[in-house]
Amino acid sequence: MRYRQVLYSNYHSTQSGRASNVDAAALLIARKGNFKGNPPLLTTPIPQAAIFDMGCGSGSLLKALQESGFQNATGMDISPEQVAIAKQMGVENVVEGDALLHVAHSENSFDLLLGMDIIEHFTKDELVDLLQNIRKSLKPGGKAIFRTPNLDAFISSAFANGDFTHENYMNASSAQQVCLACGFKNVKVLPGVMKIENPVKEILRKFAATVVNFRFKLYLFATARSSKNVLWSPNMVIIAQN
pLDDT single digits (tens) 127-150: 999 999 999 999 999 999 999 999
The Cα-based distances of 139 to 132, 143, 242 in angstroms read 13, 8, 8
Return the pLDDT at 89: 87
Number of domains in the chain: 1
Domain assignment of residue 223, yes or no: no
Give Cα separations from 200 to 206, 233, 234 (angstroms).
10, 20, 21
| Residue 64 counted as domain residue | yes
Q: What is the pLDDT of residue 22?
A: 57
In a domain, 207, yes or no: no
- The confidence score (pLDDT) of residue 37 equals 67
Please give the average per-residue pLDDT across 165-176, as a whole number.
94
The parent domain of residue 108 ranges over 2-195+231-241
pLDDT of residue 2: 81
Rounded CA-CA distance 183/100 in Å is: 18
Residues with Cβ within 8 Å of 176's Cβ and at least 6 positions away in sequence, in order, are 187, 189, 238
Q: What is the predicted pLDDT for the residue at 16?
A: 60
Does 221 reside within a domain?
no
Q: Which pLDDT does position 11 carry in this prediction? A: 75
Mean pLDDT over all residues of the chain? 88
Q: What is the CATH number of the domain that holds 50?
A: 3.40.50.150
Residue 124 placed within a domain = yes
90 near 106, Cβ under 8 Å?
A: no
Least trusted range by pLDDT, from 1-5, 130-134, 204-208: 1-5
Strands 110-116 and 51-54: parallel
- What are residue 238's phi and psi, to 5 degrees? -105, 125
- Is residue 17 one of the residues assigned to a domain? yes
Name which of 91, 74, 96 is nearest 28 in CA terms: 91
For residue 94, is it within any domain?
yes
Given this model, what pLDDT does residue 45 score? 65
What pLDDT is attached to residue 17? 56
Using 50, 70 and 90 to split pLDDT, how confident is the model at 73? very high
**Which H or E element spans position 11?**
helix 11-11
* pLDDT higher at 206 or 3: 206
Within 37-88, where are the H helices?
60-67, 80-88
Instruction: Tell me whether residue 209 is in a domain.
Output: no
What's this model's pTM, rounded to 2 decimal places? 0.87
pLDDT digits (tens, 9 = 90+) for 78-133: 888 889 989 988 899 999 999 989 999 999 999 999 999 999 999 999 999 999 99
Res 234: pLDDT: 92
Instruction: Please write the tens of the pLDDT for every residue from 4-61.
Output: 878 777 776 766 655 555 567 777 777 777 776 676 776 666 778 999 999 998 898 9
Identify whether the C-beta of residue 177 lies closer than 8 Å to the C-beta of residue 187.
no
Q: What is the pLDDT of residue 242?
A: 86
State the amino acid at position 196 in one-letter form.
Answer: I
